[in-house]
């Protein structure tokens, strides 16, 4: 594997930083976040080259934070070098033009943008085929200039195939993808390769579990899991193979990290960024609480070799088959 470029051309006129700043953590359950200090820190992320923000209309005040951040950038150059990706997550039901446009206009206003760089559409119920109407109306809003590009989030490969056959132009799917959860490789990556789509990945660091903090530590009890992310990904660790196997993985990642003078988190991030069709990894930003920008920047200098990957696979090969247990990407939400 080679050293990564920091920028990825996701769309014809959309370049993103390959480590995206995830804003789920401002939605609650990750500690109290102050607007002013959060926005100040967003400017620091931007100045350090982490220019791409990932959020959703259901992530509490995330879109408003982005809007305030854009006011602080002030210059046209600063604004043009920042990318704002959000999600459209409606309740299932009729998806008329007026309904879809109402929510997109709301996001545009909150985010203080003229056009949304990438709207990532999520749908809770596959049995309700109104998701096709939603995509049709999103496409019309793209034609009107309110949306630059359309992607999806947490859809499975079967539904992606339906969308492509209906003629929708989708550039990305955002899915869970990590050393533990490699379900995307079964069906989705080959599909993306065929149809020139890319993946944006989350959960890559398991909400913080993939770090030195948890190595050689006893299995945490429920009261130790003080964020929604830790609660979510502890369940994933249990399903994957349990705490003992996870410790075995952390020891291997520590060994690889020491070899390259880098962190466990960086090894986990680079392992996924090296995968085919992965455009970027979303790393949660606990704005005003903690930051790992200096460490994250080292990912772009890290080169994992065949021996490193072999050691990782020697552990993951002992785990349960998550595709068989959970199903394709996104199935955990339905």
d(C-alpha 131, C-alpha 334), whole Å: 14
Both tokens of residue 40? 């100040």
Pick the CATH number of 8-210+268-304 from 3.20.20.100, 3.40.50.1820, 3.40.640.10, 3.40.50.2000: 3.20.20.100
Q: Which of helix, strand or coil describes residue 302?
A: coil
Both tokens of residue 114? 């003229």
pLDDT digits (tens, 9 = 90+) for 22-59: 998 776 654 566 778 888 889 999 999 999 999 999 98
pLDDT digits (tens, 9 = 90+) for 198-246: 999 999 999 999 999 999 999 999 999 988 889 999 999 999 999 999 9
Q: Write the burial class of residue 31 (CB in 10 Å: 0-12 exposed, 13-18 middle, 19+ buried).
A: middle
d(C-alpha 21, C-alpha 41), whole Å: 11
pLDDT band at 172 (very low <50, low <70, confident <90, very high): very high
Report the DSSP pairing between strands 198-202 and 83-88.
unpaired
The pLDDT assigned to 286 comes to 61
Is the confidence at residue 64, as pLDDT, over 90?
Answer: yes
Both tokens of residue 106? 């709301």
Its pTM stands at 0.93
The pLDDT assigned to 40 comes to 87
pLDDT band at 6 (very low <50, low <70, confident <90, very high): very high
pLDDT band at 76 (very low <50, low <70, confident <90, very high): low
Angle at 134 between CA 146 and CA 199, to 5 degrees: 75
Q: What is the percentage of the chain residues whose pLDDT exceeds 90?
A: 81
Both tokens of residue 139? 């496409």
Q: In the chain, where are the structural domains located?
A: 8-210+268-304
Is the confidence at residue 289, as pLDDT, over 70?
Answer: no
Q: Are 16 and 280 in contact (CB under 8 A)?
A: yes
pLDDT band at 161 (very low <50, low <70, confident <90, very high): very high
The pLDDT assigned to 174 comes to 98
d(C-alpha 278, C-alpha 184), whole Å: 10
The pLDDT assigned to 73 comes to 86
The pLDDT assigned to 292 comes to 73
Is the confidence at residue 102, as pLDDT, over 70?
Answer: yes
Average pLDDT over residues 152-160: 98
Burial 11-28 (b: 16+ CB within 10 A, else e): beebebbbbbbbbbbbbe
The pLDDT assigned to 291 comes to 61
């Amino acid at each position: 594997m080679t050293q990564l470029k920091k920028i990825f051309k996701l769309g014809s006129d959309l370049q993103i930083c390959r480590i995206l700043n995830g804003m789920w953590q401002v939605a609650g359950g990750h500690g109290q976040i102050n607007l002013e200090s959060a926005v100040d820190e967003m400017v620091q992320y931007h100045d350090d080259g982490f220019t791409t923000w990932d959020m959703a209309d259901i992530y509490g005040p995330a879109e408003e934070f982005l809007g305030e951040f854009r006011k602080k950038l002030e210059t046209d150059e600063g604004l043009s070098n920042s990318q704002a990706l959000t999600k459209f997550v409606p309740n299932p039901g009729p998806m008329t033009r007026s309904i879809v446009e109402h929510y997109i206009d709301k996001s545009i206003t909150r985010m203080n943008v003229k056009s949304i760089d990438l709207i990532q559409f999520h749908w809770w119920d596959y049995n309700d085929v109104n998701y096709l109407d939603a995509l049709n109306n999103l496409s019309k809003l793209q034609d009107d200039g309110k949306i630059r590009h359309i992607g999806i989030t947490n859809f499975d490969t079967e539904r992606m195939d339906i969308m492509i056959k209906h003629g929708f132009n989708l550039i990305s799917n955002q899915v869970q993808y990590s050393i533990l959860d490699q379900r995307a490789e079964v069906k989705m990556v080959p599909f993306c390769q065929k149809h020139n789509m890319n993946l944006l990945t989350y959960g890559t660091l398991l909400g913080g579990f993939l770090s030195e903090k948890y190595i050689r530590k006893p299995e945490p009890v429920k009261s130790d899991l003080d964020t929604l992310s830790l609660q979510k990904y502890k369940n994933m660790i249990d399903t994957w193979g349990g705490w003992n196997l996870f410790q075995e993985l952390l020891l291997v990642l520590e060994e690889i990290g020491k070899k390259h003078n880098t962190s466990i988190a960086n090894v986990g991030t680079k392992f996924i960024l090296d995968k085919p069709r992965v455009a970027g990894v979303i790393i949660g930003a606990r704005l005003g609480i903690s930051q790992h920008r200096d460490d994250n920047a080292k990912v772009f200098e890290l080169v994992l070799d065949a021996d490193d990957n072999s050691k990782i696979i020697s552990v993951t090969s002992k785990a349960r088959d998550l595709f068989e247990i959970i199903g394709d990407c996104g199935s955990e939400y339905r």
